[in-house]
């Protein structure tokens, strides 16, 4: 189970006809209460899709009763007509569920620059709301159907759950396989909890969780226009909730979803964790890890099973982080290939045939650390993204 694991939520995923594949392409997650508190974070791209512009207004008061998501079109750079489509989609959900349109988040994903078919969207909302009213809309099958409906180039749905000893639950679903880079990575994520938390508490927990998970997923260095991570609380489990404990559980759900996004990245053959240790500051550690993750030379080398640690150091040296360039250590999959800026163990000892690859960079400049998740650069990635719109 994912978004329906927490009490007080129902979900549905249906075929609206927005995708030519005939697969599910519209989902609704409804918060049944008694609370309707919420928080959300969005792409930091200045070029934002219409659903993001709408949802930024909706979340301002911290109240959300439902979220509607579609694949099959991003509804971005579609002008006033596109924003009206978003507005009318929210209005249709509100009418069907007898809630306010101002309490409906809207998310879209797919190709930029194409208008969505409003009639298909409305018909899909009708079918989804009928499904919400049926038995089983709060069960695992309903959660899975919703997770499938938001997929684009994803190979499989992404779901995660954490249950606390106190009895409250955090569940989540995500989509994303390409354009994975901060802010947030190219994703739609819905997180739910039955803990009785208000919107300020949810916002604090969500920003702490995304900062060390989704914001450190950097698969291909490309930032989306539609990224949305929403957290909804029903308060259906009326038990005292420690905010630190909740934040830790939420972070684990986000980490699991981020790792699933990484593992499903378009065409990837290696999942790479770039761990930077002993940095002067956490920001320095993030900057160094991100620079390596965005080096096409490094990513191509990993694809070719070539432990070319010189490409790691070359990327590290482009940052403004504080370190001595000739005191850096680098290990790849446990082999210390560079020690204090000089050759260490023979690179031939590094085994890069497994899918998992770990790069450890020791800056010897402080005590801060950070890990960036990325993937290799493959022929399949180039092929898939050369034909995305065809």
Give me the DSSP letters along 288-341. Answer: HHHHHHT-HHHHHHHHTT---HHHHHHHHTTS-----TTS-EEEETTEEEEETT
Report yes or no on 355 lying in a domain.
yes
pLDDT the model gives residue 376: 87
CA distances from residue 1 to 131, 194, 316, 356 in whole angstroms, order as listed: 17, 14, 41, 26
Question: Is 93 found in the same domain as 185?
Answer: yes
pLDDT the model gives residue 184: 46
pLDDT the model gives residue 225: 85
Question: Is 195 found in the same domain as 254?
Answer: yes
Per-residue confidence of the chain (390 residues) as pLDDT tens digits?
689 999 999 999 999 999 989 999 999 999 999 999 999 999 988 999 999 999 999 999 999 999 999 999 999 999 999 999 999 999 999 999 999 999 999 999 988 999 999 999 999 999 999 999 987 888 889 999 999 999 988 889 999 999 999 999 999 999 986 555 545 445 799 999 999 999 999 999 999 999 999 999 887 767 788 889 999 999 999 899 999 999 999 999 999 999 998 888 777 899 999 999 999 999 999 999 999 999 999 999 999 999 999 999 999 999 999 999 999 999 999 999 999 999 999 999 999 999 999 999 999 999 999 999 999 887 877 766 665 554
Range of the domain at 316: 271-386
Question: Is 220 found in the same domain as 333?
Answer: no
Question: Is 364 found in the same domain as 249?
Answer: no
Q: At what angle do helices 309-316 and 296-303 cross, to 10 degrees?
A: 160
What is the distance between the alpha carbons of residues 187 and 337, in angstroms, rounded to a whole number?
A: 35
Question: Is 332 found in the same domain as 220?
Answer: no
Report yes or no on 4 lying in a domain.
no
pLDDT the model gives residue 169: 98
Catalytic residue among 92, 186, 247, 251: 186
Question: Is 161 found in the same domain as 22?
Answer: yes
Residue 2, Cβ density class (10 Å: 0-12 exposed, 13-18 middle, ≥19 buried):
buried
Question: Is 365 found in the same domain as 217?
Answer: no
Question: Is 334 found in the same domain as 212?
Answer: no
Report yes or no on 226 lying in a domain.
yes
The strand pair at 158-163 and 228-233 is best described as unpaired
Report yes or no on 2 lying in a domain.
no
- First vs last Cα of the chain: how many Å apart? 34
SS3 content of the chain, % helix, strand, coil (to 5): 35, 25, 40
CATH number of 381's domain: 3.10.20.340
Name the nearest CA neighbour of 65 among 152, 123, 132: 132
Residue in this structure with the two tokens 């432990």, named with its chain if needed: 307
Report yes or no on 1 lying in a domain.
no
CATH number of 35's domain: 3.60.70.12
From 238, 263, 288, the end of a domain falls on: 263
From 263, 280, 299, the end of a domain falls on: 263
What is the distance between the alpha carbons of residues 390 and 380, in angstroms, rounded to a whole number?
A: 16
Say how many domains are in the chain. 2
Question: Is 321 found in the same domain as 225?
Answer: no
What is the distance between the alpha carbons of residues 270 and 103, in angstroms, rounded to a whole number?
A: 41
The strand pair at 66-70 and 104-108 is best described as parallel
Is the alpha carbon torsion for 333, 339, 341, 342 positive or negative? negative
Report yes or no on 341 lying in a domain.
yes
From 215, 243, 263, the end of a domain falls on: 263
Question: Is 375 found in the same domain as 310?
Answer: yes
Question: Is 225 found in the same domain as 127?
Answer: yes
Question: Is 296 found in the same domain as 253?
Answer: no
Report yes or no on 43 lying in a domain.
yes
Taking the model in full, what pTM does it have? 0.91
Report yes or no on 3 lying in a domain.
no
The reply to whether 281 belongs to the active site is no
């Amino acid at each position: 189970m994912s978004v329906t694991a927490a009490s007080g939520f129902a979900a549905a995923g249906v075929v609206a006809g927005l995708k030519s594949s005939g697969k599910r392409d519209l989902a609704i997650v409804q918060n049944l209460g008694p609370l309707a508190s919420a928080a959300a974070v969005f792409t930091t791209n200045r070029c934002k899709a219409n659903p993001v512009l709408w949802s930024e207004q909706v979340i301002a008061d911290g109240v959300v009763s439902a979220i509607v998501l579609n694949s099959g079109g991003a509804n971005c750079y579609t002008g006033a007509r596109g924003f009206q489509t978003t507005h009318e989609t929210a209005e249709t959900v509100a009418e069907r569920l007898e809630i306010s349109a101002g309490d409906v988040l809207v998310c879209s994903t797919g190709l930029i620059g194409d208008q969505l078919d409003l009639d298909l969207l409305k018909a899909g909302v009708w079918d989804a709301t009928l499904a919400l009213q049926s038995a089983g809309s709060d069960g695992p099958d309903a959660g899975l159907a919703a997770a499938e409906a938001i997929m684009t180039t994803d190979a499989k749905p992404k779901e995660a759950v954490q249950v606390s000893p106190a009895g409250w639950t955090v569940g989540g679903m995500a989509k994303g396989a390409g354009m994975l880079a901060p802010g947030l990575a190219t994703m739609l994520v819905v997180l739910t909890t039955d803990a009785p938390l208000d919107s300020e508490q949810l916002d604090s927990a969500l920003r702490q969780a995304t900062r060390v998970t989704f914001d450190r997923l950097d698969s291909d260095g490309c930032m989306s226009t539609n990224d949305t991570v929403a957290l909804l609380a029903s308060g259906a489990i009326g038990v005292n909730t420690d905010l630190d404990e909740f934040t830790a559980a939420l972070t684990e759900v986000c980490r699991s979803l981020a790792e699933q996004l990484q593992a499903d990245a378009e065409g990837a053959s290696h999942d790479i964790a770039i761990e930077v240790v002993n940095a002067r500051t956490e920001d320095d550690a993030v900057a160094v890890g991100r620079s390596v993750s965005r080096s096409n030379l490094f990513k191509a080398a990993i694809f070719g099973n070539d432990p070319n640690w010189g490409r790691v150091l070359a990327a590290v040296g482009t940052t403004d982080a504080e370190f001595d360039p000739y005191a850096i250590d680098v290990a790849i999959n446990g082999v210390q290939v560079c020690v204090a800026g000089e050759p260490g163990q023979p690179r031939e000892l590094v085994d890069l045939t497994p899918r998992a690859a770990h790069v450890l960079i020791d800056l010897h400049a402080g005590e801060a650390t950070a890990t960036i998740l990325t993937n290799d650069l493959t022929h399949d990635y180039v092929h898939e993204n050369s034909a995305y719109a065809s």
